[in-house]
Amino acid sequence: MTGVETRSVARDSLFLLADVRVEQNAETYRVRVRNLSDGGMMGEGQLRVQRGHRVMVELRNIGAVGGTVAWVQDNRFGVAFDEEIDSQKARRPLQGDDDPAAAVVKPSWAHRAPLPPHPTTLRKI
C-alpha cells in the first residue's frame, strides 16, 4: 500500500450486521459490514465466497441489494453493488416504513439532573 487514496468513491467506516445470500444457495449468512459506500461494501464473516460470485445483501433501512464479489482476503470480502444505494440510510436508526414518526429522533432526558426542590419543602436549620 502506498498510502495514497486511489478510490473515487467515499466510504463510511462503520460496524453493522447484514444478511448475505450467495446466488444458487438458499442459506443466509450473517456478516459484519466494516465499510460501506454507495457503490459497494466490505464484509467480514464465516462466508465462503469467491471473486465473481453473485450475492444478495440485506442492509438495514435499505433492503435487499444485489451485487458481485469483487475480492476476497481471509474472512473479508468486497461486494460491488449492481446499483448505487444511499449508504447514509444504513447509519440511521432502524425505521418502519409505515410509521413516519419513527424517523423522528427524540432527545433522551434519562441522564438529566433532577429538578431542584421547591423552597417550601426545605428544612431550616
Q: Is residue 124 in some structural domain?
A: no
Tens-place pLDDT, residues 80-123: 999 999 988 888 877 655 555 444 545 555 555 667 788 888 88
**Which H helix or E strand runs over 90?**
helix 87-91
pLDDT at position 76, please?
96
How many structural domains does the chain have?
A: 1
14 φ, ψ (degrees, to nearest 5): -160, 175
Q: Is residue 53 in some structural domain?
A: yes
- Polymer length of the chain: 125
Paired with 19 in beta bridges are 30, 58
Q: Is residue 22 in some structural domain?
A: yes
Type of residue at 58: E
Q: The pTM is what?
A: 0.65
Paired with 1 in beta bridges are none
Tens-place pLDDT, residues 55-75: 999 999 999 999 999 999 999
Tens-place pLDDT, residues 36-54: 999 999 999 998 899 999 9
CATH number of the domain bearing residue 84: 2.40.10.220
Q: Is residue 29 in some structural domain?
A: yes
Q: Is residue 7 in some structural domain?
A: no
Q: Is residue 120 in some structural domain?
A: no
Residue range of the domain that includes 80: 12-103
Tens-place pLDDT, residues 7-33: 545 555 567 899 999 988 889 999 999
Q: Which three cell numbers stand for residue 9?
A: 468513491
Paired with 76 in beta bridges are 44, 73
